[in-house]
Amino acid sequence: MPISRRTFLRSAAASALLPVVERPPTHLLPGPDGDGPPLAERAARKGLFYGCCAATAYLDDAGFAQALGREAGVLVPEWEGKRGRIERRPGVYDYSAADRLAGFARRHLMALRGHALVWHLSNPGWLDEALSVPGASDRLITDYIARVVGHYRGQIQSWDVVNEAVEVEDGRPDGLRASPWLKAFGPGYIDTAFHAARRADADAVLVYNDYGLSAADPWSASRRRAVLALLTGLRRRDTPCHALGIQGHLRAFGPRFDPDVFRRFLAEVAALRYRIIITELDVRDDGGPTAPAARDRAVADLTRRYLDVALDQPATLGVVTWGLSDRYTWLATPAEHRPGTPPPRPLPLDDALRRKPMWHAIAAAFDTARPRTHG
Ligand code: XIL
């Protein structure tokens, strides 16, 4: 029996998914150039939330920390919550970095998202080895989740329990990624992870998180089909997964965004009684004009079109950008940025922490979104 809407909302409210934290009134949080309330305030006015990821190193940047505390109502550790940082050695748990971000969130009355309990990347070397041993125990999943979710119980509004389990190119009929998790335990590892998270925290909203779900191209369409099949199976087996996290790594000059395609997908997810969170929104701006103003306009235009669809779906709970300022974006790392091309401008604030057209696009999307009547 899928969880009732009331149970979900009670758990969501209890886990601060719905903005239950009382942040200082807007006039105490002036925007840098006086163009109105910060994004967190605009979202909260509609019963939504806005937040972003950050890494502990960025908190030592006073200007950035001030902008973060002003704009975001939800914080996600960019990498401090991943297993490669928490359990570097088997059974030795180091929460120090993630705790620092949790402390920042608490001091700034922000909710906290947990990311990510089971992923095929950012794992410690010993884990990949342990998973490759025949007959490996799924306590490699359940013990870790029990410890980490238990450590943060009562602090986390929502957990990305399983991240990026779909990879259609791996050729499986179910479209699942042939990850070390799947090879060790079969597709049931996903259900195992969600049940373990539910046992460890009865209130946190539990999220399946993935990417490549937004554009109109055939690759994205195949991923949407695989994710819908995964979500349908979880529902059929009564697995405690409450929401789909749509990462939202967009391309301003990439595959076309078709609002009707995306709207239909969101409706199909909602019809399966899942909530929706846009969990890692940023917009790559390479492959088009090089002038920053033209790139900023294209990024803002796509952001607004995307969020107008996302926020028009009543099941959508909030928006998280993968970073706040171009000063700190994963898209500038060597793994993601082509040398010799202009630095990326994928986020709401520029590298001088000034609000960009993308910030105004997000603000306008919240301002025009219909208020949530969570009942
Ligand atoms: C990225 C971080 O931003 C990088 O700093 C880190 O080196 C690798 O992971 N999808 C996800 C995120 O779910 O965890 C990834 O974050 C970006 C893609």
Ordered mean pLDDT values, 10 residues apiece, the chain (375 residues): 40 45 50 79 97 98 97 98 98 98 97 98 97 97 98 97 98 98 98 98 98 98 98 98 98 97 98 98 96 97 98 98 98 92 96 97 98 73
Angle at CA 375, nearest 5°, toward 162 and 163? 5
- Has residue 343 been placed in a domain? yes
| Assigned domain for 373 exists | no
**Cα distance between residue 177 and residue 164, in whole Å:** 8
How many angstroms separate the Cα of 286 from the Cα of each of 24, 57, 317?
Answer: 38, 26, 30
Are the beta carbons of 74 and 157 closer than 8 angstroms?
yes
- Given the CA of residue 211, which atom of ligand 1 is nearest to it? 10
Q: Is the CB of 78 under 6 A from ligand 1?
A: yes
332 in a structural domain: yes
The pLDDT, as a whole number, for residue 355 is 97
What is the total residue count of the chain? 375
Dist. CA 335–CA 197, nearest whole Å: 31
Helix axes 292-312, 259-271, angle to 10 degrees: 30
Look at residue 126 in the predicted model and tell me its pLDDT: 98
pLDDT of residue 291: 96
Identify the residue whose C-alpha is closest to ligand 1 atom 15. Answer: 78
CA separation, residue 235 to residues 25, 154, 200 (Å): 40, 25, 20
Identify the pLDDT of residue 313. Answer: 98
For ligand 1, is residue 160 a contact (CB within 6 Å)? no
* Substitution site in 56, 58, 78, 324 for ligand 1 pocket (most atoms within 8 Å of beta carbon): 78
Q: How far is the CA of 35 from the centre of ligand 1 (A)?
A: 31
Any ligand 1 atom below 6 A from CB of 282? no
Q: Please give the distance, rounded to the nearest whole angstrom, from the Cα atom of residue 234 to the centre of ligand 1.
A: 25
Range of the domain at 200: 5-368
Give the chain's radius of gyration (CA, Å). Answer: 20
Contacts of 223 (CB under 8 A, 6+ apart): 166, 168, 175, 210, 211, 212, 213
What residue owns the CA closest to ligand 1's atom 12? 78
375 within a domain of the structure (yes/no): no
Q: What is the CATH number of the domain that holds 91?
A: 3.20.20.80
The residues, any chain, with a CB within 8 Å of residue 133's CB and separated by 6 or more, are none
The answer to whether residue 374 is domain-embedded is: no
Nearest residue by C-alpha to atom 4 in ligand 1: 330
**Residue 113 — φ and ψ, nearest 5°?**
-100, 145
Ligand 1 contacts CB of residue 123 (under 6 A)? no
Which residues are within 8 A (CB) of 245 and not within 5 positions of it... i.e. 6 or more apart? 160, 207, 208, 209, 210, 277, 278, 279, 280
Residue 314 lies in a domain: yes
- Is 181 part of any domain? yes
Q: Is residue 216 part of a domain?
A: yes
CA gap 206, 150 in Å, rounded = 14
User: What pLDDT is recorded for position 136?
Assistant: 97
pLDDT, position 75: 98
The total number of structural domains in the chain stands at: 1
Q: Return the closest-CA partner of residue 302 out of 354, 264, 221, 248.
A: 248
